[in-house]
Chains A and B, each alone.
Chain A
Amino acid sequence: MSEVIKIKKGLDIRLAGKAEKVFGKTALPRLFAVKPIDFHGVVPKMVLKEGAPVKAGTVLFYDKKQPDVKFVSPVSGTLKSINRGERRRILEVIVESDGKDEFVDYGSVNLKELNRESVVERLLESGAWPYIRQRPYDVIANSADKPKAIFISGFDSSPLAPDLEFLLTGKEEAFKDGIEVLKKLSPEIHIGTNSETASKIYNNVKGVKTHKFKGPHPAGNVGIQIHHIMPINKGEVIWVVQPQEVLSIGALFTQGKHDFSRVIALTGSEVKTRSYLRYRLGASVSEMLKDNLNSDTNLRVISGNVLTGDHIESDGFVGFYHSQVTVIPEGDEYEFMGWLKPGFDKFSVSRTFFSWLFPGKEYRLNANMHGGERALVVSGEYDKVLPMDILPEFLIKAILVEDIDKMEQLGIYEVTEEDLALCEFVCTSKLEIQKILRRGIELMIKELS
């Protein structure tokens, strides 16, 4: 498996603000949250009422559609509030920590004695099941499915992304344990690794297939890796898990408790001290951002990376699947004749701005759209940043006209928002590609179920 899969299409956005590879010191915040909106298609049904005492691992709510799938509190304390949005949709379930760190105990087991049923059962009851997501559609996996394989991307190539191998330092054994558990779910496990790093932690795991990838973002997207190794056809299901989640899954069986610790990379041009933080799932970002931001402009705090992350408040919470927080300028300002300027400081894939003179420059990009939304004019833009045998423009058009057959034929099973995020980034017409794609996926789920 030493053959390197070269990804040619794609784009590394040269953002300023990478996190330094050191573990910073932080106090954990008081508030934690589980956000039902992090999970596509989940309809939450609360189990507890506000004010109820919880332990780390106590079930907060479950999915009405799949009642087996439970979501649990990451800390012990009290259920402080349930924040609702329009039409009483639950946005955040906030837990206030009491600092005691009491865990629900499931009892440790010998990994060799596990079988599929016992693994599934424990993952579901402990709230660890949502770590396992399925392709197609990027939704929480259905425990009744027999997946073709489980895929883990060993590196994140998105802008300012944390070095996942660095996150895992010292956790080799826990990682191996997690893989052992996953093997019970599917005998075939694939790990995509970065050809430019040693990837010891991945290469030392036995009984998995590793694949080296080389090239720009989205080479680290698990969807891209699946496409090059085992493309998903109609009716097939592949499960995906992220490396940090593998650790939690392993500890759940070896230690008997749901380990919620996560390393979060604090990144972005507007953060003063950027580092990796030993944190916990669902933590509020208020502590890590306190006195740590450049405050001369309006800022945008993002849970995740700049391509696919969620816009959160400066006292918001890190998303369930995120191991990165990015802060960039909001950029909600008018720019006089901005489209006519030479643009030495404007990042663009095209060479229409003079910034092409500085190939190595890092940019402090803001969240401005840099123009208005238009009908699709420029062609071939998307193809340059999607390393898949898929015609993104035609897929998007099929979604817009809600043509289910065409969507299926053109590859909607293989893509999720993160794969097409770069298409959205480069789009001259400023279309909302990710939103359109999710609409298409939701339509597929509705029509085919």
Chain B
Amino acid sequence: MKALRKLLDTIKPHVSKGGKFEKFHSTFDAFETLLFVPDKTNKSGVHVRDSIDMKRTMIMVVMALVPALLFGIWNTGYQHFLVQGVEADFWQSFGHGLIKVLPIIIVSYVTGLAIEFAFAQIRGHEVSEGFLVSGMLIPLVLPVDIPLWMVAVATAFAVIIGKEVFGGSGMNIWNPALLARAFLFFAYPAHMSGDLVWISGFSAMEGVDATTGATALAAAAQGNIGDFSIWSSFIGTIPGSIGETSVIAILLGAALLIYTGIGSWKIMFSVFAGGYIMGFIFNLVGANDLMQVDALHHLFLGGFAFGAVFMATDPVSGSRTETGKWIYGFLIGIFAILIRVFNPAYPEGMMLAILLLNTFAPLIDHYVVQSNIKRRLKRAVV
């Protein structure tokens, strides 16, 4: 520890202003602050500060993602051996999943961080921690059989177009991870939808009925929701994107986010509420197969729960006022089910619903701020 500090102290003058390698300042700074919380003290205003910083915030979200990640890894193997009809124990399933999932995570982080560092370097900024979370979110919303180069392209797209063109972390309009998924969905639909991509190695398997690879949502669109019990959707032993299938693992993450105070319970709650109400209304109408899916079951399918807990709650792209959060979340829930039910080409509506409401979040905030201004003006008259 002391030796490490000494090493950093010897390098520091060279990368500081006026040093030989001045231009590598941000890169050095990123590593230094990763290893050591800086010795900077408050110069103006408050003399003491809360211990929380951006690194702690982001690492908490990553921790909240761990249950979904671990379950996703296991489920990848489980689904793989299930359709093959091969008996496999827990560790075999987990091992298979690990081999499949780990490369996707590595590609996502390496691509994203390389771009983040490059931009910080060019701008002379500090490297922001936002990608710690995005780098984990991206793999979790992708199908396991996605080619690795696509992961790299999508991550690059998300970081550059989704974030850096707006000025970096904190300035972006849309959630970068969802943007990566949307990019892949529209650029390479064959690899992002259909019945062949959700189970590892499925397209290469012979003699397996193609419909067994369908996600619950695709099945529901065909009127086959009966193949998936509400319980299995809740536990998550169904095909789907890597991290999105297990509602119980996601709720564990949600509990951590809410308890630590990092994720907004208002948004999570209102997304589920909006989704349930919309699902319930459709249950009453019941005009097509998806409308007939039980409202509660709707919330357990596809990326709904994952989106509600980890995507909609992104504070940068979401609504920033407390009243706005209720409206924003509620509309996401409504739109997710609406798109799901009325768009036969793509039953998964969560991604589009969140991206849509990301776009409208500033508008929602604008009205909340205006109502605050009006209320305060009224006070003067009374």
Contacts and interface: CB of A to CB of B under 8 A. Distances in A.
A201 B49 CA distance: 35
A152 B356 CA distance: 50
B54 A371 contact: yes
Interface stretch (B145-153, B212-220, B300-308, B368-376): B368-376
A435 B365 CA distance: 25
B53 interface: yes
Contacts of A233: 379-380
A231 B42 CA distance: 32
B38 A334 contact: yes
B170 A375 contact: yes
B87 interface: no
A160 B315 CA distance: 33
B188 interface: no
A336 B35 contact: yes
A379 B51 contact: no
A339 B59 contact: yes
Contacts of A331: 39, 41
B46 A374 contact: no
B37 A334 contact: yes
A211 interface: no
Contact of B320 (A306, A351, A379): A379
A27 interface: no
Given A374-B54, A377-B315, A409-B373, A352 B169 contact: no
Nearest to B127: A372
A34 interface: no
A311 interface: yes
Contacts of B318: 379
A385 to B, nearest CB: 10
Nearest to A393: B320
Given A372-B126, A380-B264, A352 B56 contact: yes
Interface string A398-436: 000000000001110000010001001111111011110
Given A389-B376, A434-B45, A346 B38 contact: no
A338 B59 CA distance: 12
A389 B262 contact: no
B375 A378 contact: no
B262 A352 contact: yes
Pick from A15, A336, A379, A429 the residue with the most CB of B within 10 Å: A379
Interface stretch (A55-63, A93-101, A360-368): A360-368
B45 A351 contact: no
A425 to B, nearest CB: 5
A377 B321 CA distance: 13
B130 to A, nearest CB: 7
Contacts of A409: 373, 376-377
Given A334-B38, A371-B37, A434 B379 contact: no
Contacts of A351: 259-261
Nearest to A343: B51
Interface in B146-197: 167-171
Contacts of A307: 46-48
Interface range, B side: 35 or more
Nearest to A423: B46
Contacts of B169: 374-375, 377
Contact of A377 (B37, B51, B316, B369): B316
B5 interface: yes
A332 B37 CA distance: 10
A411 B376 contact: yes
B322 interface: yes
B231 interface: no
B47 A369 contact: no
Contacts, number: 208
A368 B369 CA distance: 34
A338 B36 contact: yes
Nearest to A333: B39
B65 to A, nearest CB: 15
Contacts of B46: 306-308, 421, 424-425, 434
Nearest to A374: B54
A350 interface: yes
B322 A328 contact: no
A425 B48 CA distance: 7
A410 B372 contact: yes
Contacts of B53: 339, 370-372, 374, 428, 430
A23 to B, nearest CB: 26
Nearest to B168: A375
A428 B379 CA distance: 33
A140 interface: no
Contact of A425 (B49, B262, B319): B49
A410 to B, nearest CB: 7
Nearest to B373: A409
Pick from B56, B126, B129, B260 the residue with the most CB of A within 10 Å: B56
B47 A370 contact: no
Interface in B1-57: 1, 4-5, 33, 35-42, 44-57
Given A346-B51, A347-B51, A435 B45 contact: yes
A370 B372 contact: no
A367 B128 contact: no
Nearest to A15: B48
Pick from B4, B33, B375, B376 the residue with the most CB of A within 10 Å: B376
A444 B238 CA distance: 60
B105 interface: no
A339 B56 contact: yes
A330 B264 CA distance: 34
B37 A368 contact: yes
Nearest to A410: B373
Given A233-B379, A348-B50, A383-B322, A332 B57 contact: no
Given A352-B260, A380-B322, A409-B373, A335 B37 contact: yes
Given A336-B35, A337-B36, A369-B40, A377 B57 contact: yes
Contact of A372 (B40, B52, B130, B168): B40
Interface of A: 13, 15, 159, 231, 233-234, 300, 302, 306-309, 311, 326, 328, 330-340, 343, 346-353, 355, 365-372, 374-380, 383, 389-391, 393-394, 409-411, 417, 421, 424-430, 432-435
Given A302-B47, A410-B373, 8 more contacts: A306-B46, A348-B52, A351-B261, A352-B52, A366-B48, A367-B48, A372-B53, A379-B321
23 contacts: A300-B41, A309-B47, A332-B40, A337-B35, A348-B52, A349-B261, A350-B57, A350-B262, A366-B48, A374-B170, A375-B128, A377-B57, A377-B315, A378-B57, A379-B264, A390-B372, A391-B368, A391-B369, A409-B376, A410-B372, A427-B50, A428-B52, A432-B44
Nearest 5 CB-CB pairings of A with B: A371-B53, A375-B170, A338-B37, A346-B51, A434-B45
Interface of B: 1, 4-5, 33, 35-42, 44-57, 59-60, 126, 128-130, 167-171, 259-262, 264, 315-316, 318-322, 325, 365, 368-369, 372-373, 375-377, 379-380
